[in-house]
Amino acid sequence: MLPNKRKGEMFGIVEKLSGASRLTVMCEDGYTRNARIPGKMKKRMWIREHDLVIVKPWEFQSEKADVVYRYTQTQANYLSRNNLLPEVINIFK
C-alpha cells in the first residue's frame, strides 16, 4: 500500500508520541505535523517512534493530520531498498 497522492496522502516518520492517540510526524514535504490515530485504528495498530506511516493532512488545518496506515519494519525496509521512499524521510538505509 502506497500513499494515494490524489487524496493528499503522504509518507511520514513518527518523531514523538504525545499521548491521547496523538503523535508528532515528520512528513515527506518537510513539515512536522500533529497527527492523531483515528478511533477505528486505535486498538488494532500500535505505533512507536521511528515508525513509517501514511498520513493525510486535514483540509482546513494543514498542520494537523490523520494516520491512515502504519508499515511494519520489514515493509519499511523493502520500500527503502526499492527507492520508493523520499530521501527526506528515508531513515532505513
Q: How far apart (Å, rounded) are the C-alpha atoms in residues 40 and 51?
A: 19
Q: Is residue 70 part of a domain?
A: yes
Q: Is residue 47 part of a domain?
A: yes
Q: Is residue 89 part of a domain?
A: no
Q: Is residue 71 part of a domain?
A: yes
Q: Is residue 90 part of a domain?
A: no
Instruction: Count up the domains in the chain and report the number.
Output: 1
CATH code assigned at 38: 2.40.50.140
Domain that holds residue 59: 5-81
3-class SS letters over the chain: CCCCHHHCCEEEEEEEEEECCEEEEEECCCCEEEEECCHHHCCCCCCCCCCEEEEEECCCCCCEEEEEEECCHHHHHHHHHCCCCCCCCCCCC
Convert the pLDDT of each residue in 19-71 to its tens digit: 889 999 999 999 999 999 998 888 888 899 999 999 999 999 989 999 999 99
Q: Is residue 88 part of a domain?
A: no
Convert the pLDDT of each residue in 66-76 to its tens digit: 999 999 999 99
Q: Is the pTM of this model over 0.85?
A: yes
Q: Is residue 86 part of a domain?
A: no
